[in-house]
């Protein structure tokens, strides 16, 4: 299947924050053959390639953005095989994370349920090492299949990659890489027990986070544990940012580290609020907050 090429795709239609102007192009990839084609096409498209998942961790400016969005749409049913240690599940990067969690629950495959409520795709979850309530995506990865324009497709074991806090480096050298397929190591458990853990995680999130708002999740990373600083949400809260609005953008009243689009927000207002939050926390606590949300300019 060949590459589907979309011209001037708007980031506001591809991100959960619903912000952002047009990129140069979007390449939608449904097959490995499309990757070969993309390697030939990329130099002619201009700009820089950017891997795109569900856009749930992106804050895009008005642009025009000098980017070619590369979106894996390989979302065929995952393949599961059993071995002595449990189960290995192989899934395409384009598969939705919530859908995967639902499938694992029905199949009685445990491990991922702490990630309940994270609205990304499998590729984005690996690229961000998404995590919550003590579960990190990278800890469940056995192998990742990556694509680069010069090396093509290569498998890397988790041990060959570096996973950190909201950080993933496949150690393939500088330049563009795309997560194409992921093999997760999971364990058997009763579907009802997995469902109970998913329900508990979601209930906790719903009580403390604006889960249905237009947001990109937490916008700042928590400061490193060794600094002894509190979480970014608490720091922002105590610096007076909870509920703070700027035009159509706001720090959520429910969770100060969630930047939400109230409907008419703009990227400029979003960036202004980020600056305000960063400088208020610096002034009050002497802590430098680092953005978790990926800002596209
Ligand atoms: C309501 C809400 C709740 C959230 N809760 C959490 C949470 O609890 N924990 C958490 O960690 N995050 C959370 N997030 C943030 C976000 O969902 C995660 O970071 C998620 O893993 C991003 O996946 P995505 O597919 O949307 O990636 P995108 O937002 O599309 O991309 C994010 C980054 O990953 C890169 N990327 C995406 N796909 C690939 C790929 N195939 N190959 C290489 N790089 C790729 C992009 O280039 C970009 O740099 C939340 C977001 C929302 C909106």
Q: What is the CATH number of the domain that holds 44?
A: 3.30.43.10
Which atom of ligand 1 is closest in space to residue 17's alpha carbon? 53
Q: Is 70 helix (H, G, I), strand (E, B) or coil?
A: strand
| Domain end among 34, 52, 72 | 72
Q: Convert the pLDDT of each residue in 32-86 to its tens digit.
A: 999 999 999 999 999 999 999 999 999 999 999 999 999 999 999 999 999 989 9
Q: Is the dihedral of CA 39, 45, 51, 54 positive or negative?
A: negative
Residue 1 has pLDDT above 80, yes or no: no
Residue 215 backbone dihedrals phi, psi, to 5 degrees? -145, 180
Q: Convert the pLDDT of each residue in 129-140 to its tens digit.
A: 999 988 999 999
Which atom of ligand 1 is closest in space to residue 52's alpha carbon? 30
Q: Is 137 in the pocket of ligand 1 (CB under 6 A)?
A: no
Residue 34 backbone dihedrals phi, psi, to 5 degrees? -65, -30
Q: Is the dihedral of CA 47, 55, 96, 195 positive or negative?
A: positive
Question: Whole-number mean pLDDT of the chain?
Answer: 97
Residue nearest to atom 49 of ligand 1 (CA): 294
**Residues with active-site annotation:** 166, 218, 292
Residue nearest to atom 52 of ligand 1 (CA): 217
pTM beyond 0.95: yes
Q: Is the dihedral of CA 241, 246, 251, 254 positive or negative?
A: positive
Q: Which domain holds residue 68?
A: 4-72
> What is the rounded CA–CA span in Å between residue 270 and residue 144?
34
Predicted pLDDT of residue 148: 97
Q: Is the dihedral of CA 63, 42, 169, 9 positive or negative?
A: positive
Predicted pLDDT of residue 247: 98
Q: What is the CATH number of the domain that holds 115?
A: 3.30.465.10
Q: Is 90 helix (H, G, I), strand (E, B) or coil?
A: strand
3-state SS, 180-214, equals EEEEEEEEECCHHHHHHHHHHHHHHHHHHCCCCCE
Q: What is the CATH number of the domain that holds 292?
A: 3.90.78.10
Q: Convert the pLDDT of each residue in 143-179 to its tens digit.
A: 999 999 999 999 999 999 999 999 999 999 999 999 9
């Amino acid at each position: 299947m060949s590459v589907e090429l979309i011209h001037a795709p708007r980031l506001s239609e591809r991100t959960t924050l619903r912000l952002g102007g047009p990129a140069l192009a979007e390449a939608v990839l449904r097959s490995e053959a499309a990757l070969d084609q993309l390697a030939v096409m990329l130099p002619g498209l201009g700009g820089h390639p950017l891997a795109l998942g569900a856009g749930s961790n992106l804050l895009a400016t008005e642009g025009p953005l000098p980017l070619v969005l590369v979106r894996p749409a390989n979302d065929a049913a995952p393949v599961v095989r059993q071995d002595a240690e449990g189960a290995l599940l192989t899934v395409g990067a384009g598969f939705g994370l919530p859908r995967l969690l639902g499938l694992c629950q029905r199949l009685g495959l445990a491990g991922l349920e702490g990630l309940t409520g994270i609205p990304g795709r499998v590729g984005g979850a690996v690229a961000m090492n998404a995590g919550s309530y003590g579960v990190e995506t990278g800890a469940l990865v056995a192998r990742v299949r990556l694509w680069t324009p010069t090396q093509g497709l290569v498998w890397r074991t988790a041990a060959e990659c570096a996973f950190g806090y909201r950080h993933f480096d496949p150690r393939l050298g500088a330049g563009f890489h795309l997560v194409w397929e992921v093999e997760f190591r999971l364990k058997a458990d009763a579907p009802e027990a997995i469902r109970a853990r998913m329900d508990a995680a979601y209930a906790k999130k719903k009580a403390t986070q604006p889960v249905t708002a237009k947001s990109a999740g937490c916008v700042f990373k928590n400061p490193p544990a060794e600094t002894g600083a509190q979480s970014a949400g608490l720091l922002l809260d105590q610096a007076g940012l909870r509920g703070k609005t700027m035009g159509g953008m706001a720090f959520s009243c429910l969770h100060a580290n969630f930047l939400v689009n109230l409907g008419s927000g703009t990227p400029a207002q979003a960036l202004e609020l980020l600056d305000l939050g960063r400088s208020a926390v610096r002034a009050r606590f002497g802590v430098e907050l680092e953005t978790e949300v990926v800002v596209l300019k």
